[in-house]
Chain A
């Protein structure tokens, strides 16, 4: 009797597993999301924004009549957790599309796995330039850092500096950014008085400052972080180097002002942004407030929202559920797709374009440069 029960239960189990997808015909997408750990504060917001977009997709007919679902896997905010989460989603669930984890280091940890297993990986928060080289199955709706090089070149042109000095942090990020900036700047007819990189994380940049002083430029483009930027600003102020400092978004933080005091006054920089006046953004905001009343829209929530919307559009258009068909559909769907965060057309690297805002330090706080 007991044996029979076990066999019967077993049969029922197998049957239910085998039959359930066919009955519901859900379209499921995986997501590696930081639901616990140090990024959990943000992860919850990402999840809520994704669920908001999902509600809208399903309210408007799902994926050609079938409901869309997202299966969230927690990555405990670590690279290790991200790897095991994505391995589960790829090997056990066999999902063709996975939404990647936040933080560039976590994203970079999983992108070779997705590429190797021919699984589409889409990111909504990672900016590292290296992600562009992840492979043909990796996409992101968040602008790459590299674009900032162009953003800074545009800012320089707007400010009217034809001759300036370029300096940057000596790492992948700084060197990559500087290359892009330099190319654009020289194309625009600019001239570099001097160009050098410097070590990250040092406390003494006086000799670097002196080298700047020697070239006596009117403006210095410094592609730097908060700590290095602040130290250089302070030491430049002390050594009476008065130039127009131009920076990227990595230095845009109240911490920069806290660390360097009035030496940071007048710095101008760029940061990736999108217009909040578009109907798309307003619709997102209204929908958010309706679903989560009293809650502020989370950081990068709108990127997550766009990612789900764009994926749904691709899934509706795909000719089959094979990964390569979905990939083609995704690239086609992105063409001219205007989301809450603007145009999401993928380029050859699976990257999107960006528009840049301008920030400046005035009266001890960061504001928009006009």
Chain B
């Protein structure tokens, strides 16, 4: 029993990271109607920038390095929008998609040039986990869950309690109508990119704290984020959150029944089933808060 509980707990932790990635991805989709492939690179850049600020020039402790790292990740996110996506916004959706794939290569290889392809770490000592009732969890994992809850709560507050959040939801619902109603599109787009970048950056840093840094860390996790987005219904923020948790839990629990070598199979089987039977996502019907 404890075994399954522990697997579920591991699933929740993995899922909360997937959720952090998926929320940003789905928000950009909700407003601009395209899948940003370069979202994964925001994850990796967040992690690498935190590394930069802990190293040679700055030697900040990691929890201080997070702040400038996130700020710079936001700058990259905004630059993506300003110099690539905005000029192409009125083009074909495929154009945006291809541009984002190109951007993803550019940003990923920039990491390779600056830091090399080798694995890196923040150099923190591994810590023994905390045990309670037979379950074990590490301080980093606790931080991951706390950060995920904190940032998602902030998101909930922004989306439901502020004018900005309401206009964001209005734009996601119908961009032209929202513009006619006098909603400031620039402000909305700014907010979406800042939120998406911060969520990606935070997720990236937490992931790197828990494991390592490598240039393709964003790409590998982006696929899980895609799965979460699809599961929740593209553009649905709460759907993405639940989708992330679902994927995390199901793939971790699955280990009890199939070889862990096929762990990814579980999440992709779910995607295919959802696409076949509930193409709008499991939570598409509920409509949730967009």
Residues of A within 8 A of B (CB): 170, 196-199, 201-208, 210-211, 214, 226-227, 230-231, 234, 237-240, 255, 258-263
Q: Mark B213-230, 1 if CB is under 8 A from A, else 0.
A: 010010011000000000
| Contacting residue for B121 out of A210, A214, A237, A259, CB 8 A | A259
- Residues 110-123 of chain B, each 1 if its beta carbon lies under 8 Å from chain A, else 0: 00000000110101
Structural contact, B259 and A206, CB atoms closer than 8 A: no
With both chains docked as a complex, state the minimum distance between the C-beta of B44 and any C-beta of chain A, in angstroms: 12
Does A231 lie within 8 Å of B129, measured CB to CB?
Answer: no
Contact between chains at B220 and A201 (CB < 8 Å): yes
| CB of A280, distance to nearest CB on chain B (Å) | 36
The docked-state distance in angstroms from the alpha carbon of A259 to that of B220 is 19
Chain A residues with CB under 8 A of B260? 196-199, 205, 207-208, 211
Give B248's nearest chain A residue, CB to CB: A204
Rounded to whole Å, the gap between the CB of B187 and the closest CB of chain A is 36
- How far, in angstroms, from A208 to B259 measured CA to CA in the complex? 9
Residues in chain B within 8 A of chain A (CB atoms): 3, 6-7, 10, 13-14, 118-119, 121, 123, 125-129, 131, 136, 138, 140, 207, 210-212, 214, 217, 220-221, 252, 255-256, 259-261, 263-264
User: Can you list 29 contacts pairing A with B, beta carbon distance less than 8 Å?
Assistant: A170-B259, A170-B261, A196-B260, A198-B261, A201-B220, A203-B212, A203-B217, A204-B10, A204-B210, A204-B211, A207-B7, A207-B10, A207-B252, A207-B255, A207-B263, A208-B260, A210-B7, A210-B255, A211-B260, A214-B3, A226-B119, A227-B119, A227-B214, A238-B129, A239-B136, A240-B128, A255-B118, A259-B119, A260-B126
Of all chain B residues, which has the CB nearest A170?
B261
Residues in B neighbouring A227, C-beta threshold 8 A: 119, 212, 214
B129 A239 Cβ-Cβ under 8 A: yes
The answer on a CB contact under 8 Å between B261 and A199 is: yes
Is the Cβ of A238 less than 8 Å from the Cβ of B126? yes
* Contact residues in A for B252 (Cβ distance below 8 Å): 206-207
Chain A positions within 8 Å of B255 at CB level: 207-208, 210-211
A227 to B217, CA, bound (A): 12
- Other than A197-B261, A258-B121, give 4 A-B pairs with Cβ distance below 8 A: A198-B259, A227-B214, A239-B129, A240-B129
Q: In the complex, what distance in Å separates the CA atom of A361 from the CA atom of B10? A: 29
Specify the chain A residue showing the minimal Cβ separation from B125: A261
- Tell me if B119 and A263 are in contact (CB < 8 A): no
Q: Are B7 and A197 in contact (CB under 8 A)?
A: no
Inter-chain residue pair count (beta carbon < 8 A): 91
Given A214-B3, A262-B126, decide whether A240 and B136 contact each other with a Cβ distance below 8 A. Answer: yes
Give chain A nearest CB distance to B244 CB in angstroms: 14
- Tell me the minimal C-beta distance from A74 to chain B in angstroms: 24
* Residues of chain B with a CB closer than 8 A to A207's CB: 7, 10, 252, 255, 260, 263
Tell me if A196 and B261 are in contact (CB < 8 A).
Answer: yes
Q: Closest CB of chain B to A196's CB: distance in Å? A: 5
Q: Which of A202, A205, A211, A263 contacts B126 (CB 8 A)?
A: A263
Q: Which residue of chain A has its CB nearest to the CB of B138?
A: A238
A206 to B138, CA, bound (A): 11
The 5 tightest CB contacts between A and B, nearest first, are A170-B261, A197-B261, A203-B211, A207-B255, A238-B138
Assess whether A237 is in contact with B128, with CB atoms less than 8 Å apart: yes
Which partner residue on chain A sits nearest B10 by CB separation?
A206
- Smallest CB–CB gap between B262 and chain A, Å? 8
Question: In the bound complex, do residue A261 and residue B220 qualify as a contact, i.e. CB atoms below 8 Å apart?
Answer: no
In the bound assembly, the distance between CA atoms of A75 and B170 in angstroms comes to 59
CA distance A240 to B132 in the complex (A): 13
Q: Which residue of B lies closest to A203 (CB)?
A: B211
In the bound complex, residues from chain B placing their C-beta under 8 Å from that of A259 are: 119, 121, 212
Residues of the B chain whose Cβ atoms lie less than 8 Å from the Cβ of A211? 255-256, 260
Residues of B within 8 A of A237 (CB): 126, 128
B127 touches A238 (CB 8 A): yes
A204 contacts which of B6, B14, B138 (Cβ < 8 Å)?
A: B14
For the complex formed, measure the closest distance between the CB of A38 and the CB atoms of chain B, giving whole angstroms: 11
The answer to whether A231 and B211 touch (CB under 8 A), given A210-B6, A210-B255, A259-B119, is yes
